[in-house]
Amino acid sequence: CAPREPPREPPRLPALPLIGSLLSLRSPLPPHRLFQDLQRKYGPTFSLMLGPHRVLVVNHHRHAREVLLKKGRAFAGRPRTVTTDVLTRDGKDIAFGDYSATWRFHRKIVHGALSMFGEGSSSSPGLQPFCAEASALCGVLSQSSCLDLSPELTRAVTNVVCWLCFSCSYSRGDPEFEAMLRYSQGIVDTVAKDGLVDIFPWLQVFPNADLRRLRQCVSVRDRLLQDKYLQHQADYSDHVQRDLLDALLRAKRSAENHNTAECVDLSEDHLLMTVGDIFGAGVETTTTVLKWAVTYLVHHPQVQRRIQDELDRRIGGDRAPRLSDRGSLPYLEATIREVLRIRPVAPLFIPHVALTDTSIGDFTVRKGTRVVINLWSLHHDEEEWTDPERFDPGRFLNSDGSGVTVPSPSYLPFGAGVRVCLGEALAKMELFLFLSWILQRFHLSVPPGHPLPSLEGKFGVVLQPARPDLRTGG
């Protein structure tokens, strides 16, 4: 056996003082596509300088799994940036907050609270909001044969998350709901998208339209969160836990009574930012995937027909789909998996940070290095996926089509390890229920004479489809 290579520096993009590698990063391509292309010159793992920050880009599943799983703790940090600090009151949330005892504690409470909405039996009260919203959604769709699905999908998903966080829901046209749609889009458009202020914080002193818009949107969100918080505090009871906010309030009270508050910070800010994360993530991610699913289904009517055949055979038209049907609808499951592969919600995840001096493969990594996992590259690796831009749910079916598989280790739509997505189970349930309800009742297509919706994503903190123009038919 050959002796192991000594640790070495990863290949590095040219860098100038102050600006770092910015000149090599000028490109019309969005960052995930540019990083994918740069592999050809630098190999699958390379480093670059974003101004003063050392960034390591990982494009292959072997190194990605080492970062997330094998060395998950060493890479569990998050960078502080100007825009995420505005969103999260300086990292007092889960997703953008650095690794700490407080962070671990909040993750644990949220994990427990989300499991209230777990699979269990189909009669579990936790599932009630899903079916109520799926049914309301289909009711609206059946009233019109030609409409833009996006606002309806967003409202249905928002209501599920509202139930979960605050035990409330919105009706169509509710002004608070409309305001929420506007501020959330404003945040998605302006936060954590590798803008220059996140690289050079001193740029904040200059007028910056994006940062102004972000601050405005965050203040609208904060007023809403504060209102819900005050209402919940007013009618809080130790005996009933209605939702996530109650679970967090209970933990806060119990920590205060037992004096554990010194090791973990359960301040009002932390609590509000945690709810803000779950609310924001809950709405934007699932809605985005549903929009991508609808987009791909109108491009591929044969896939749609095959799901509908499966629904007809396994469920029929006399009853609504239930979570317990998931195992008997493998082609629908495979389609959801393929949508999550071909258009990953978070193509660059959220950057990780090395908390100690460590390594990836044979490369040394210094403490403080930001690590970007390029999920786009993993999900479009030609060694792992034949013709990666072809939409083919069949990749995720087993050989006789009776069940689903994951055919490659290069598939991590929800991440893995210490920072794995907290909403994975919830998102999968929602995607399954909404899509099965819709496809049992409707055929999706573009109105005659209209072009098919674009498959290009709009890069940001989530990869969103362009505004679609879709209609349903009974």
Q: Minimum Å distance from CB 191 to ligand PLO? A: 5
User: Contact with ligand PLO (CB under 6 A): which of 346, 365, 373, 433?
Assistant: 346
Lay out the site mask for ligand HEM across 325-354 (x = CB under 6 A, - = otherwise). ---------------x----xx--xx----
184 binds ligand PLO (CB under 6 A): yes
Helix (H/G/I), strand (E/B), else coil: 458: strand
350 near ligand PLO, judged by CB under 6 A: yes
Asked if 244 contacts 278 with a C-beta cutoff of 8 angstroms, the reply is yes
DSSP string, 349-398: -S-EE-SSSEEETTEEE-TT-EEEE-HHHHHT-TTTSSSTTS--GGGGB-
Residue with tokens 């210094």: 366
Q: Is 188 in the site for ligand PLO (CB under 6 A)?
A: yes
**Residue 168 labeled ligand binder:** no
* Contact stretch for ligand PLO (CB under 6 A) within 1-9, 107-115, 183-191, 393-401: 183-191
With contacts defined by CB under 6 A, name the span among 13-21, 283-291, 319-327, 449-457 that binds ligand HEM.
283-291
Question: Binds 461, which of ligand PLO, ligand HEM, none (CB < 5 to 8 A, cut-off by type)?
Answer: ligand PLO
* Other Cβ atoms within 10 Å of 1 Cβ, number: 3
Lookup: tokens for 73 = 């703790």
Q: Name the residue nearer to ligand PLO (CB basis): 20 or 457.
A: 457
**C-alpha 360: how far from its chain's center?**
25
- Segment 276-315, which members bind ligand PLO (CB under 6 A)? 277, 280-281, 284-285
The entry of ligand PLO, ligand HEM, none near residue 426 (CB within 5 to 8 angstroms by kind) is: ligand HEM
x/- mask, ligand PLO, residues 218-237, rule CB under 6 A, reads: ---x----------------
- How many angstroms separate the CA atoms of 289 and 44, rounded? 27
Buried b (16+ CB within 10 A) or exposed e, 420-451: ebbbebbbbbbbbbbbbbbbbbbbbbbeeeee
Question: Least separation, in Å, of the C-beta of 363 and ligand HEM?
Answer: 19
- x/- mask, ligand HEM, residues 154-193, rule CB under 6 A, reads ----------------------------------------
Q: How far is CA 152 from CA 159, 188, 348, in A?
A: 11, 19, 28
Calpha distance 199→50 (Å, rounded): 6
Instruction: Work out how close the CB of 464 gets to ligand PLO at its nearest, in angstroms, rounded to a whole number.
Output: 10
Interacting partner of 427 out of ligand PLO, ligand HEM, none (Cβ under 5 to 8 A depending on kind) = ligand HEM
Give the integer Cα–Cα distance in Å for 89 and 102: 15
State the binding partner of 58 from ligand HEM, ligand PLO, none, CB within 5 to 8 A by kind.
Answer: none
Q: Which of 125-133, 239-247, 275-283, 314-322 is the region at the interface with ligand PLO (rule: CB under 6 A)?
A: 275-283
Q: Which of residues 65-124 bind ligand HEM (CB under 6 A)?
A: 94-95, 107
Query: What is the C-alpha to C-alpha distance for residues 375 and 312, in angstroms, rounded to an integer?
Result: 35
Give the residue among 50, 421, 408, 358 at the shortest CA–CA distance from 200.
50
Q: Where are any strands of DSSP class E within 127-173?
A: none
> Which residues line the annotated binding site for heme?
421
